[in-house]
Structure 1
Amino acid sequence: MDLQLSGRVAIVTGASKGIGLAVARTLAEEGAHVVATSRTPVELPGKAVHVAADLMDPAAPARVVTRAVEEFGGVDILVNNAGGPPPGVTLPRFGFMASDDADWRTMFEFNLFSVVRMIRAAVPVMVARGGGSIVNVSSGSARQPGAMNVDYGAAKSAVNHVGKAVSEEYGAQGVRVNTISPGPVLTDWWTRQGGAAEVISGVAGASKEDVIAKVAPEMMRLVTGRLVDPQEIADAIALLVSPRSGSTTGVDLPIDGGFLKEL
């Protein structure tokens, strides 16, 4: 299927690893001009540039959009993927009392305000070009509250709200906004030293490898019995930002191995 992305300009945040890297590579392979944004460099095929940015800096989103306009003439696609544990933070955290005010502020700064600022910077450029497509990467935790990572889930719930609101306001001007809600994805968040798999390993009394292969899927009641592959998220995002999805807006699409159970 031709996704009709050739020549379109895409910004992908959090593009150095995991979901963001898979998205950036996929869009580049489909012929898009990719502006990959992250704190660490990344190499991509095709017409792509890396913009080093810390999205905790309120001025960074506007600089990223300005660079996209300078390099490629505009912005057609924005994938707000940056998020998860803020720099220096290890998740999961267990229980509501585990996070203090500073933890909540940092979590919202990284997972919500960076998204808000990127949208604020990109939408006027998209409108001037006749429209565009935004995908915000949220989390199944936004719709499945529990006593783990409460601040993270709350921030992602707010991301879902923002996406719906912006899709309603700017839909008539050609800007589509959708949300992807992954379940547990096999990324650095889980696999790195000191990451989620090791934290859960210490609680569950299982090896890191067993946590990834069995304990976590069982704990989160994943129907597929495994963590999600980042490429599965990237493929869905590529379709959502494509003109092939021209009537899809305001949608929250779970890709979570069956994590969410409600109707």
Structure 2
Amino acid sequence: MDLRLNGRVAVVTGGSKGIGLAVVRTLLEEGARVVAASRTRGPGLDALAGPGLVHVPVDLMDPGAPARVVERAVEEYGGLDVLVNNAGGPPPGVTLPRFGFLTPGDGDWREMFEFNLFSAVRAIRAALPHMIARGGGAIVNVSSGNARRPVPMNVDYSAAKAALNNLTKALSEEYGPQGIRVNCVSAGPTVTDWWTKEGGAADVIGAQAGAGRADVIEKIGPEMMQLTTGRLAEPQEIADAVALLVSPRSASTTGADFVVDSGFLKQF
């Protein structure tokens, strides 16, 4: 299927690995010109290097960073059509999961909202004038099933993603008449660095369960989270949903929460 993205200009935050890297790769394959934002470039982006890809090294915990990324896209390619707010998860230097409401303090809550909500708010604020000038655009916020299925673990993360979902709905109403579509993709547990890195979620859960990293990812994690498919999702599966939603093929889809979660959200 031709997604009609050839020549479109896209910004993808958190674009150097995991879901973000898969989104960057997919948009490039569809002919888009992509500006990827992340703290470091990494081998994944290096492998995609070409005239249609620009990397902007920024820390999205910096309030000024999202606007700098958007301005770079406009400088390089003359405008902006697509924004994918993918950056999220544990803030830099933080390991999740964290168990219990009393575990994170005020500073933890602030960092979590800075990374998972405010960075998206700032990117959208910077992007909207450029999209309006082009007669429209598409924004996708990468959220989480935990926004709708909170548990006594990572409560600050779940709350930040719930706020992101609410923001998505509000923006779709306000800017839909100006040709800007805003949607969410709510990812379930996905095979990313969050799970697989040394000291990551699989190691934290494995330490409690007396199991190795591979067993947690392949068996214990899917069973614990009651995933219908029996496995964590792959980043490409999330990226495919994002690419479809930013495409003109989804011209009548706005304010939606597109779930790609291996059957995690059974009751919603």
- Which of 212, 233, 239 is the equivalent residue of 2:238? 233
| Deviation digits for residues 199-236 of structure 1 (CA, Å, limit 9, x no counterpart) | 00011111111100000000000000000000000111
Between the aligned partners of 1:219 and 1:123, the Cα distance in structure 2 is 40
Between the aligned partners of 2:212 and 2:58, the Cα distance in structure 1 is 35
Between the aligned partners of 1:217 and 1:191, the Cα distance in structure 2 is 14
Partner of 1:5: 5
| Deviation digits for residues 39-88 of structure 1 (CA, Å, limit 9, x no counterpart) | 10133255111011111111111111111011000110000000000000
Kindly report which structure 2 residues correspond to 1:34-183, keeping only aligned pairs within 5 A, or say none.
34-41=34-41, 42-43=45-46, 44-46=48-50, 47-183=52-188
Deviation of residue 16 (structure 1)?
A: 0.6
Kindly report which structure 2 residues correspond to 1:16-35, keeping only aligned pairs within 5 A, or say none.
16-35=16-35
Q: Aligned pair count?
A: 263
Asked if 1:201 is matched to 2:199, the reply is no
Query: What residue identity is the alignment partner of 1:9?
Result: V
Between the aligned partners of 1:104 and 1:60, the Cα distance in structure 2 is 20
Deviation of residue 198 (structure 1)?
A: 0.1
Equivalent residue of 1:90, what SS?
Answer: coil
TM-score, normalised relative to structure 1: 0.99
Structure 1 unaligned residues grouped into runs of 5+: none
Partner of 1:184: 189
Partner of 2:253: 248
Query: What residue identity is the alignment partner of 1:210?
Result: D
Equivalent residue of 1:98, what SS?
Answer: coil
Query: What residue identity is the alignment partner of 1:261?
Result: K
Equivalent residue of 1:179, what SS?
Answer: strand
Between the aligned partners of 1:12 and 1:181, the Cα distance in structure 2 is 16
Percent same amino acid at aligned positions?
71
Tell me which stretches of 4 or more aligned residues in structure 1 moved more than 3 Å: none
| Deviation digits for residues 169-191 of structure 1 (CA, Å, limit 9, x no counterpart) | 00000000000000000000000
Partner of 1:222: 227
Equivalent residue of 2:6, what SS?
Answer: coil
Deviation of residue 33 (structure 1)?
A: 0.3
| Deviation digits for residues 4-52 of structure 1 (CA, Å, limit 9, x no counterpart) | 0000000000001000000001001110000011010133255111011
Between the aligned partners of 1:247 and 1:45, the Cα distance in structure 2 is 33
Two-structure CA RMSD over aligned residues (Å): 0.7
Deviation of residue 150 (structure 1)?
A: 0.2
Q: Does the 8 Å CA contact 1:25/1:45 hold for their aligned counterparts? A: no
Query: What residue identity is the alignment partner of 1:8?
Result: R
Deviates more, 1:40-49 or 1:242-251: 40-49
Between the aligned partners of 2:249 and 2:182, the Cα distance in structure 1 is 14
Equivalent residue of 1:127, what SS?
Answer: helix
Structure 2 unaligned residues grouped into runs of 5+: none
Deviation of residue 103 (structure 1)?
A: 0.5
Equivalent residue of 1:171, what SS?
Answer: helix
Query: What residue identity is the alignment partner of 1:147?
Result: P
TM-score, normalised relative to structure 2: 0.97
Equivalent residue of 1:198, what SS?
Answer: helix
